[in-house]
Amino acid sequence: MTEQQRQVGGGRAMFGDFAPKLAELTDDVLFDDVWNRPELSARDRSLATVAVLTAGGHTDQLRFHLGRAVENGLTEQQLIETIIHVTLYAGWPNGMAAMSVAKDLFGQD
């Protein structure tokens, strides 16, 4: 597998003073450990994350991860197609909510 940019979390920046343990787990476990394991590329991890967040209706986290997915090499069209695909398996309301986030983020009025 080719060398990829190291994934870094922002837990300490967001919650370090308020919830230091959550910040530590976010940065040190989720991002520093799991996101940087070599068995999947950051692109593949982003694709899986967008699918799971869409399926669960987690639009607050989806906004961040759609941007991260573009940084990790996915195109806007690939992400839109992922949301469409997941919608038919995970439910129309979750898919519509996720697509609204994507539309807002990618600037399609």
Do 90 and 48 lie in one domain? The reply is yes
Amino acid code (one letter) for 4? Q
Do 32 and 64 lie in one domain? The reply is no
Q: How far apart are CA 109 and CA 105, in angstroms?
A: 10
Do 29 and 62 lie in one domain? The reply is no
Whether residue 4 lies inside any domain: the answer is: no
pLDDT of residue 109: 54
pLDDT of residue 47: 98
Do 63 and 98 lie in one domain? The reply is yes
CATH code of the domain containing 82: 1.20.1290.10
Task: For residue 45, give both structure tokens.
Answer: 């991890």
Do 93 and 55 lie in one domain? The reply is yes
Write out residues in the chain with pLDDT < 70, as ranges.
Answer: 1-4, 7, 108-109
Tell me which residue of 54, 65, 51 sits closest to 100, measured CA to CA.
54
Task: Kindly state the helix (H) or strand (E) to which residue 29 belongs, with its residue range.
Answer: none
Do 61 and 103 lie in one domain? The reply is yes
Whether residue 104 lies inside any domain: the answer is: yes
Do 48 and 99 lie in one domain? The reply is yes
Domain range holding 60?
41-109
pLDDT of residue 1: 46
